[in-house]
Each structure stands twice: as C-alpha cells, then as structure tokens.
Amino acid sequence: MLILSTSSEDLLMCSRLLKNGNTVAVPTETVYGLAANALDEDAVKRIFLAKGRPADNPLIIHISDISMFPEYCFPTRSAFLLADNFWPGPLTVILPKKTVVPSAVTAGLSSVAVRMPSHPVAKRIISLCGFPLAAPSANISGKPSPTRFEHVVNDLSRNEFVAAAIDGGRCECGVESTVVSLIGDHPCLLRPGAVTVEMLRTVVPDLTVADAVLQKLPQNEKALSPGLKHKHYAPAAETVCLTGSAESSLRYIKARAEGKKTAVICFDGEEEIFSDYTVIPYGLPEKPETLAENVFAALRKADGIKDCERIFVRCAPPEGKGLAVYNRLLRASDFKVVNTEEYV
Ligand code: TXA
Ligand code: MG
C-alpha cells in the first residue's frame, strides 16, 4: 500500500489510481473511506474483497457537486431540501437508483445511498476523477471505523486489494454519516450521525427513527438497511456499556472484574476514579461531539491491550449528537447496557 500525502501531486496520483480501477483509502470529515470508481463493477468488487465485506451490504456513493446528484438517483423534493441544508457534510440519503449504478454497489437493491462530503481532500479527489466514488469505512469488516490514519495502516497496509492510502490526519466527526432513507412514505433515520434528528426535523418534520437505531433486531426481521443487521465495531474482549454515575459504575466494575484484565473507557476527568484499571478517557458527556470524535479510537485502543478480557464503557444519554455515539456503543457491546444505579 502506497502512502500518499494531501499535496496536489499526490491527489493527482490518487485520482490516476482510481481511474485505473484501484481502491484508495481517503480521509473524509466522518471516517476514512476505502474508495473506488462507483461506476466500475470490478473496482467496486475490489472494495468488498479488501474489507471482507458481506456482498449483501450496499455502499454509499460520494459526489462532489450537486449536478451529479440526479445522474445516479431520482431525488425527491425532500432530498433536495436536505441537500440544500446539509451538503456538503455528514449526511447520506437513500433514493431510487438509476441504472448507471452497478448492482455491486447497491448489493442488488433498487435504491442507492448518496452523500456529498465536506472534506476538502475527498471533494478534490472526486472532482479530479469526474465520477462518483463508492466508499465504505476503510476498516476490515466488523472492526471499529478508522478515524485516524494509523487505523487505516493497521487494518489495510498489507492488503493486496488496496493500492494506496492518503494521510489526512484525524477525522473531525469521528462517527459515520447520518443515513436517511427517502424511499418510504416518511423520511426514516437508519443510522444516526453528526447531523442530528433535531437538525433533520427542521427540514423534514415527519422524519421517523428506525427501531434498529436503538434496539436489537429480532433474528427473523428484515433490516431496512442491511448495515443494521451485521455485527459491527466490536472489540474482541467482552464489552459492556454502563449508564449511571461514575461511583455506581465503579462499584459495578469492582464486583465483576474478578481479577480479569479490565479496561474502562471513561469520561475526561474520571481517570483517578477508575485508576485500578486501564483507563481510556474519550471526551465529555456534556459535549457529545468530543465523544463521537474519539469513540472508535478508544475502542481500538482497548482492543489493543494485551490479554484484556473486559471493556466497560461509560455511556452518555442518547440525545442530540450523543445518539450516534450510543448507537455505535450498542453495536460494539452487542446491546449489553447496564444502568449501574440499579445495582447499588
Ligand atoms: O460517513 C460515512 O458514511 C462513511 C464515509 C466513508 O463516507 N461511509 C460509511 O460507509 O460509513 P459504510 O459502508 O461503512 O456504511 C454505509 C451504510 C451501511 O449501513 C449500509 O447498509 C447502508 O449505509 N446503505 C448503503 N446503501 C443502502 C441502501 N441502498 N439502502 C439501505 N441502506 C444502505
Ligand atoms: Mg462501515
């Protein structure tokens, strides 16, 4: 894997690689994406091979200009309203697809997910290419999404299906884009992100929230978004989310650590309280955007602790930008959430 900078020459090199059907990891404002020409079926297949991604999980296509929007899907009035308000930025909309989009991108669905990123590097590469880029998060399937360049290197540097990666530093949002389906009668939130439910409802007041955002799908229920059913973001150690005070969380952890190597992903300023364990502070609950920025890095750090058997994560309420963090932690812990106040 070739390592590229964000210099003009390197971005040009990146666009050449993409034009030749290669995959390249690129920074976006949400997470790093593993990009390929969305209109080239073989290039798209290379993304699935690189990630070990199930073929039934469709990809988002990324555009750099609003004129590209109606080329690949049939935008509705709500779609243009959302685009006006939140693009370029961390919002993806799902609409009926046009036939130019290969079925490998959409995993055979008749809809396609579209987003216009705000990251200057991502935007520049798409305009240099002149075609949309299909790009899932640039991690091995099932691992936390990469929000730092080192995450991409750790996951993909020896991957035969990845030609290059651009070092764009940290990703600002830290969680993947908000996904809204515009296919049914009402707009429906499938994945929460930095564009919050409250922000969306200023534009589409009838927005609903898919059950799967906060609940485990019953085994036999068909997922609105295939991504909702796959195991995600999961460290190897057993991971448990804790709500409740720091004090009751500590009591709960103490009673269950049983001499096992334990990591605690806590809020900033709580390092002392949990100092019997490996502490990984990840931000402030009153500033959920800080938690979002660091949540995947924290999960990866905990996963990297040798022989770590248990990870406890202090969890902020699922409100505003906190909903996206909560949703990712639910998946990382396979929906194991404990209100430690109930154990006093
Ligand atoms: O922020 C992001 O969205 C990042 C960056 C790279 O842009 N990309 C990303 O892609 O998170 P990925 O593949 O990790 O997540 C895409 C999600 C999946 O949950 C997928 O199932 C869903 O979007 N999705 C894609 N196309 C869909 C469709 N036609 N219908 C329903 N869900 C779809
Ligand atoms: Mg992903």
- Ligand 2 mean position to 136 CA, how many Å? 5
If one counts the domains in the chain, the total is 2
| Residue 68: inside a domain | yes
Question: Among 110-119, 127-136, 211-220, whose mean pLDDT is lowest?
Answer: 211-220
Q: Are residues 97 and 134 in the same domain?
A: yes
For the CA of 226, the nearest ligand: 1
Element (H, E) at 91: strand 91-96
Q: Are residues 45 and 142 in the same domain?
A: yes
Q: Are residues 58 and 196 in the same domain?
A: yes
CB of 176 closer than 6 angstroms to any ligand 1 atom:
yes
Q: Are residues 199 and 272 in the same domain?
A: no
Domain range for 253 is 238-342
Amino acid found at 177: S
pLDDT of residue 305: 94
Q: Are residues 266 and 123 in the same domain?
A: no
Instruction: State how beta strands 178-181 and 24-26 pair.
Output: unpaired
CB of 29 closer than 6 angstroms to any ligand 1 atom:
no
Q: Are residues 70 and 169 in the same domain?
A: yes
Closest C-alpha to ligand 1, atom 21: 227
pLDDT tens digits, one per residue of 95-125? 999 999 999 999 999 999 999 999 999 999 9
pLDDT tens digits, one per residue of 151-161? 999 999 999 99
- Ligand 2 mean position to 337 CA, how many Å? 22
- Ligand 2 mean position to 186 CA, how many Å? 25
- Ligand 1 mean position to 50 CA, how many Å? 16
For the CA of 141, the nearest ligand: 2
| Residue 19: inside a domain | yes
How much is the average pLDDT of 315-330?
Answer: 97
How much is the average pLDDT of 72-78?
Answer: 97
Distance CA 99, CA 103 (A): 8
For residue 179 the two structure tokens come to: 């996904």
Q: In terms of DSSP H, where are the helices of the chain? A: 8-19, 41-51, 69-72, 77-86, 103-106, 120-129, 149-156, 197-201, 246-257, 288-303, 322-332
pLDDT band at 227 (very low <50, low <70, confident <90, very high): low
CB of 289 closer than 6 angstroms to any ligand 1 atom:
no
